[in-house]
Amino acid sequence: MLRTDIIHDIRNVLAKAGFYLSEENESRIICFDLIARRDNLLVIIKILTNVDSFSKTNANELFVLSTMLGGTPLLIGEHNSKKKIESGIIYLRYGIPMFNFQTLHDFFIEGTPPLIFSAPGGFYVNIDGDALREARQAQGISLGRLAEIAGVSRKAIQMYEKGMSSTIDIALRLEDCLKIPLIQALDPFSLRDAADEISIEPELDAEKPHGIEIDIFNQLRLLGYNVVPTILCPFDALSKDSKVLIITGISKQNRNTMEKAKVMANISKITEHYSVMFSEKSVKKENLAGTPIIQKAELDKMADSEEILTLISERIKIYH
């Protein structure tokens, strides 16, 4: 299946599931292909056929971008260089939850959540610790006896009763012994809690901003914003203070500026965060394709971050 076909099918599934979707972007080099929101769930998705092409740099930026936007990162792929990605299993690649299209479809359309996750050492499931403890005690089975049946230590049974995950075979032996279901469904968007052995460090400074970008980012920092430059995004930075996050772009005054403004406006709508594009040169328009424009000369005169928000709000109204 071609990547374009997978993207099309994923969009259809998420639309049927009630998600509001970002517009299609044909670029292969950005760190995400799709942003989807349903109520309070915001998902930043990268879609590949071969997940081996998903680099640590891509994972770093996807993770930091999702964290700052208040969303969840997700990688959807079909195979790596050795084998297909199995359905019903959640994997991790550089700490990013990963599964195939069928798993996505089954979860949102069929209502069938995945049960298995892959972590160092093999495949694991989450056990209902309370049900395990209650059934063991009700049936008069000691920790030692259950441990013997399951082929684990007494301490392991205690940990399972506290919610520790187990391998599939151990979980099945416990279910067979106690005659009750113990394996719990997984939330595909919270696997990091279940397998936090894998972590990544933000490395968004790998490519330093230069020229006009440095000047604008430094001025934003003086006004109280934490500015995180981006590498593989259709905008240039995320700027955040104690109140808001702003999707930040720098106008290069070229033919790509209009397209960049359209993409930023669309992402702003989906994520429910402000967006703004700063321009070094004087421009006639104060809003481009739904993205407010602020000249560098205007930014230099501002005394605090509230002035930026006021100007953004005024120039959003111009477009509407």
pLDDT band with cut points at 50, 70 and 90 for residue 320: low
Residue range 66-73: mean pLDDT, rounded = 94
Residue 24 has pLDDT above 90, yes or no: no
Rg (CA), the chain: 24
- Kindly report whether the global pTM for this prediction surpasses the value 0.75: yes
Residue ending a domain, among 94, 114, 134, is 114
Looking at the structure, tell me whether residues 17 and 110 fall in a common domain: yes
Residue ending a domain, among 55, 84, 114, is 114
Residue 300 has pLDDT above 70, yes or no: yes
Q: Which own/partner contact pairs does 1-8 have at CB distance under 8 Å and 24+ positions apart?
A: 1/49, 1/78, 2/49, 3/47, 3/48, 3/49, 6/47, 6/49, 6/76, 6/78, 6/101, 7/33, 7/34, 7/47
Residue span of the structural domain in which 273 resides:
212-319
**DSSP-assigned letter for residue 200:** -
Lowest pLDDT segment from 34-38, 58-62, 133-137, 186-190: 186-190
Residue 207 lies in a domain: no
Residue range 76-103: mean pLDDT, rounded = 93
Residue 193 lies in a domain: no
SS3 (DSSP) at 45:
strand
**Exposed/middle/buried for residue 66 (C-beta within 10 Å: 0-12, 13-18, 19+):** buried
Looking at the structure, tell me whether residues 30 and 66 fall in a common domain: yes
Share of the chain above pLDDT 70, in %: 91
- Residue 144 maps to which CATH number? 1.10.260.40
Looking at the structure, tell me whether residues 109 and 128 fall in a common domain: no
- Residue 226 maps to which CATH number? 3.40.91.50
Q: What pLDDT, on the 0 to 100 scale, is given for residue 283? A: 77
Looking at the structure, tell me whether residues 306 and 227 fall in a common domain: yes
pLDDT band with cut points at 50, 70 and 90 for residue 188: confident
Alpha carbon distance 2, 48 (integer Å): 9
pLDDT band with cut points at 50, 70 and 90 for residue 301: very high
Residue 315 lies in a domain: yes
Total count of domains within the chain: 3
Mean per-residue pLDDT over the chain, rounded: 89
Looking at the structure, tell me whether residues 222 and 287 fall in a common domain: yes
- Residue 78 maps to which CATH number? 3.40.1350
Looking at the structure, tell me whether residues 217 and 290 fall in a common domain: yes
Residue ending a domain, among 135, 167, 184, is 184
